[in-house]
Amino acid sequence: MNHLISIEELDRADIERIVAQAERFAEVADREIKKVPALRGRMVLNLFYEASTRTRSSFELAAKRLSADVVNFAASGSSVEKGESLKDTVLTLSAHKPDAIVLRTPWAGAAELVSRWCPAAIVNAGDGKHEHPTQALLDVYTLRQRMGEIDGASIWIVGDVAHSRVARSNVLAFQRMGAHVTVAGPPTLIPRGIEQLGCEVRYTLDELHTADIVYALRMQRERMTDTWVPSLREYASWYQINGRRLTPRQVLMHPGPVNRGVELSGEVVDSPQAVITQQVEAGVVVRMAVLYELLAVAREPRSDGAGAAPGSLAAPAPAASAADAMPAPVAEPVLEGRPA
Amino acid sequence: MSAKQPLIGGLQAPAELLLRDVHALDPRTGLDARRDVRIRNGQVAELAEPGTLETDGEAQTLEGEGRLRLLPAFFDPHVHLRTPGQEHKEDIGSGTRAAAAGGFGAVIAMPNTDPVLDSAPLLRSLRDAAAREARVPVGVLPAITRGLQGEQLTEMAELRQEGALGFTDDGRPVRSAGMLRKALQYQRLCGGVLSLHEEDPTLSREGSMHEGAISAALGIAGIPTVAESTMVARDAALAGYEDARVHFQHVSCADSVEALAAAKARGFRISAEVCPHHLLLTEEDVRGLDTRMKMHPPLATEADRVALVDGLRAGTLDCIATDHAPHAREEKEVPFEQAPMGTTGLETAFAALYTGLVAPGVIGLPLLVERMTAGAALFELPTPSIALGTPANLTLVDLDAEWVAGEDGWESRSENCCFAGRRLQGRVLMTLAAGAIVHRDRALASSQDGELAGAR
């Protein structure tokens, strides 16, 4: 695996391998010294064209726990505001020879595009409303921690599906892992044709009780001014996940940040059914696993400095065992991938 | 009421040329036979049985071996020459060289330039430039409304006196039905075709591609086909009510074809064009987010594509237009949602349509040639033909020649062609426009002694 661009390009084995690696890294967080030397001397560049605190800091923490050097580059206040194109920004930053670029942009396909322009491993941290693959991976990880396998589970993704990259990545990832996915929300916020991803579509929460897992999406306030729904009040009365709608056996997820009183009522956020803070925790170990996968395990040698061919997200040979792939905490760092 | 010649420019070098044993095809006259053709002083001087004409001092002779096709030169009612103001994308010289290379003998330029072509002085200046720089004759459609703002009519009558072929706000719809109605009424005074870009911006919004399964999967805002078809239906009704002459640009979906067929059945004076990319490509081609596949209206579904081909065959869609829309490399080398709309098309139109529709037997060559020349009459210009005593407006093509689009570069200043890299069959070898040889393929140019050989 040379890049992580989308869940669409991953199969179940890829997802399971990354999640398993994250489980091995979870132990690091409990140590007094929360660091392994696996990526010592490697550079991870965070290039963010959209405001983000949790995703960016999660990637930063993940890279630092692997002993990589981290450079943060925010588009605001930079050359981007002086009119520099994405391509020129990437080429300029590439001159510093980052091993990985974590990229968030408001444009679908931008991560894929950047992977053609520079030799670094590209991690898509959100490309427009298209995908946010590390969010989906950490959500799968969180569910496995909570309930084991999700084969056959029913997962409802509720809210503004149209403007959500989290929804798109999760519809794909949950299905890859054997779950049945239903998307539900106001008809104005469910894109025409979404059922072709394999999910069911509902416009009410009448059957929400059939779900094993309820995944609420953030209702962005700016969508309100654009008359996608008549009012937040009406939205909340039809689609808010609250104590009345959530049954005790259901698990509640949310990508954050939560609008209390809009998509979630306060009492469900604070309930033991909610795994929202576990999702945040999972973010660091899953992103460690992604960076490790891209930079330490399966980085294919490059002769010309060019990116791998687009669409070449083929599954590499999986690590044979946990002991092989797991960097020894104190001994020599594992820098080389296992032979295929 | 047009006081000046509506087409302007083109090379002023009357051809002296003997074409021996070419297969001449003119779908309107029924000519479909091997002929010797003599061009003298830029006119079709003789049409004779093959092997009967001998060289009579012509500088150039070309052997067609009974194989090369001689067709009426194509006519494109919809191109963007980007002059004035956006010459980094295209100018009159490069755009009309691209037209000539594609077998087009004349083109009509759109007014969404910078500044917008919306006044007589600007039209005069553009026509002066065309007179100097254009390789093939150029007609101009100035704007319907000032600055394409949809608020105030341009001085349509004066513009017609200065040679306007008609009017369009292309790139934008005339949003207000009331404003369009005034333009249709004013047409009774000044004439000229009103050529309409149909799009309801409250439906297309910030969309970048066709609304459907692929836009849903990519998370890209979609443009529903009803953004076009509802406006086609509205404006066809207005055209019927005012008995106005209206032309619909770049029709892209089945619903629009149906709306046009219904309006035509009622006898309304409307016509429509369709683009090669809409006849050949679909939303599937957008999946990879290649910005060359981003155009307005967007590539739609396979069912829409098939309906367009059927509409072309039935005549509901009267002619083919390329909507040649050049953009600079840096403008297109950005994420899909940021990229401007448009594909170039002049240099690939015939070959792409021949490869995609004629070679597999979907439509016949005579129909393709008819539709690629029909735009002239729709804009009240003489239809290119192969007829004695007329100025040579001719295209010579080798239907067997295969080439890769863009492999040898482009005549256009821009390279944003949706067919780039595709293997195409059918190559334009020579184009004559208004009596002059305006394009010679390199296969011909490399032969010796001024002798033009048809050999590939």
Does residue A40 lie within any of the structural domains?
Answer: yes
Does residue A1 lie within any of the structural domains?
Answer: no
A137 with A270, same domain: the answer is yes
**Residue B99 φ/ψ, nearest 5 degrees:** -60, -50
- For chain A, how far is it from start to end, CA to CA, in angstroms? 12
Burial category of B158 from C-beta neighbours within 10 Å (exposed 0-12, middle 13-18, buried 19 and up): middle
A163 with A66, same domain: the answer is no
A155 with A128, same domain: the answer is no
A191: closest chain B residue by CA: B216
- Look up residue A327 and give its DSSP letter: P
| Nearest-by-Cβ selection for A192 from B212, B219, B333 | B212
Does residue A203 lie within any of the structural domains?
Answer: yes
Does residue A318 lie within any of the structural domains?
Answer: no
User: B217 to chain A nearest CA, in Å?
Assistant: 7
Name the residue among B142, B151, B150, B230 with its Cα closest to residue B194. Answer: B142
A273 with A137, same domain: the answer is yes
Query: How would you classify residue B399: left for phi > 0, otherwise alpha for psi between -120 and 50, otherwise beta?
Result: alpha
A46 with A128, same domain: the answer is yes
| CATH code, A93 | 3.40.50.1370
A124 with A145, same domain: the answer is no
CB under 8 Å to A192, separation ≥6 — which residues? B211, B212, B216, B222, B224
A140 with A182, same domain: the answer is yes
CB under 8 Å to A234, separation ≥6 — which residues? none
A142 with A259, same domain: the answer is yes
| Nearest-by-Cβ selection for A192 from B211, B219, B333 | B211
A229 with A94, same domain: the answer is no
**How many structural domains is chain A composed of?**
2
Name the residue among B374, B341, B328, B320 with its Cα closest to residue B170. Answer: B341
A117 with A227, same domain: the answer is no
A257 with A165, same domain: the answer is yes
What are the helix (H) ranges across A132-178?
133-147, 165-176
- Look up residue A70 and give its DSSP letter: E
**The tokens of A24 are what?**
């091995």
Q: Which residues of A touch B289 (CB under 8 A)?
A: 108-109, 112-113
pTM: 0.91
Say whether B323 is catalytic.
Answer: yes
List per-residue pLDDT tens for chain B, 456 residues long: 557 899 999 998 999 999 999 999 999 999 999 999 999 999 999 999 999 999 888 779 999 999 999 999 999 999 999 999 999 999 999 999 999 999 999 999 999 999 999 999 999 999 999 999 999 999 999 999 999 999 999 999 999 999 999 999 999 999 999 999 999 999 999 999 999 999 999 999 999 999 999 999 999 999 999 999 999 999 999 999 999 999 999 999 999 999 999 999 999 999 999 999 999 999 999 999 999 999 999 999 999 999 999 999 999 999 999 999 999 999 999 999 999 999 999 999 999 999 999 999 999 999 999 999 999 999 999 999 999 999 999 999 999 999 999 999 999 999 999 999 999 999 999 999 999 999 999 888 655 444 444 433
Do A200 and A183 touch, CB atoms closer than 8 A?
yes
Does residue A110 lie within any of the structural domains?
Answer: yes
Residue A50 contacts B where some CB pair is shorter than 8 Å = no
Does residue A257 lie within any of the structural domains?
Answer: yes
Does residue A328 lie within any of the structural domains?
Answer: no
Q: Which residues of A touch B216 (CB under 8 A)?
A: 191-194, 196-197
Do B277 and B300 touch, CB atoms closer than 8 A?
no
Which residues on neighbouring strands pair with residue A43, listed in sequence order? A69
Amino acid at A91: L
A108–B336 CB contact, under 8 Å: yes
A226 with A119, same domain: the answer is no
Does residue A65 lie within any of the structural domains?
Answer: yes
Domains and CATH numbers, chain B: 17-71+389-445 (2.30.40.10), 73-378 (3.20.20.140)
List residues in chain B touching A: CB distance below 8 A: 211-222, 224, 288-289, 330, 333-338
What's the domain range around A196?
Answer: 133-278
